[in-house]
Amino acid sequence: MPPVLYLASQSPRRLQLLAQLGLSPQTLLPGPQEDAEALEAERPGEPPEVYVRRVTLAKLEAACARRQCRGLPEAPVLCADTTVALGDRILGKPADAADALRTLRLLSGQTHEVFTAVALQAGGQARLALSRSSVDFAAVPEEVLHAYVASGEPFGKAGAYAIQSSLAGWIPTIRGSYSGIMGLPLYETTQLLRDAGVLP
């Protein structure tokens, strides 16, 4: 029996959020021969919103090709990408501890934006939706930043932090979608899945 949905993401947060919708997708992850990181390469002067749309559609295309190449049954394919931006500057996943600390220092005491694009391929049609939120950070003490980096939490996360982590204690206000900041905006995702007949 084919799966109801494929999720082209290894993020446990996205699986957790889809579980809130009553879904248990089959993950469709890149193989060792795929350079998944190359899809996230930035282009000079590319605005964050344009970047996140492009990367998400590229991930969707790669995931659909992956499903076909592996001979897996047809089913809708879902993927998403989250980008943190301070003005026009994209703050991606930190390369190392020094990069994570540098990113967090930039965010401390500032308001930044979080863009999460979600894309769905179903019935031969690709659909994309975008969630845009803003996050206010209070000034975070240096010792807190160092401890946060030492915890390992920043790695693999855009902007070097997770909204559901201890750093939330330094975020007085968000405007937009909490689930979108986590990595999968549930409202937009639900609309895409309803349009495709995955959800009632």
pLDDT in tens, 45-96: 999 999 999 999 999 999 999 999 999 999 999 999 999 999 999 999 999 9
The token pair at 1 is 């029996």
Catalytic annotation, residues: 81
Say if CB 166 and CB 150 are below 8 A apart.
Answer: no
Query: How does residue 1 score in pLDDT terms, banded at 50, 70 and 90?
Result: low
Considering the chain, what is the average pLDDT of its residues?
A: 95
| Of 142 and 37, the one with more pLDDT | 142
Domains of the chain: 6-195 (3.90.950.10)
Q: What is the pLDDT of residues 23-35, one digit of tens each?
A: 999 999 998 888 7
What residues does 113 pair with on adjacent strands?
85, 134
Say if CB 135 and CB 163 are below 8 A apart.
Answer: yes
**What is the rounded CA–CA span in Å between residue 200 and residue 45?**
41
Alpha helices in 24-124, H assignment, sequence order? 48-69, 97-107
Side chain identity at residue 4, one-letter code: V
- Highest average pLDDT, of 2-6, 37-41, 54-58, comes from 54-58
- DSSP three-state, residue 185: coil
- 160 burial type by CB count under 10 A (0-12 exposed, 13-18 middle, 19+ buried): buried
Q: Please tell me the pTM assigned to this model.
A: 0.94
Contacts of 85 (CB under 8 A, 6+ apart): 48, 91, 112, 113, 114, 115
- DSSP three-state, residue 136: strand
Check whether 36 has a pLDDT greater than 80.
no
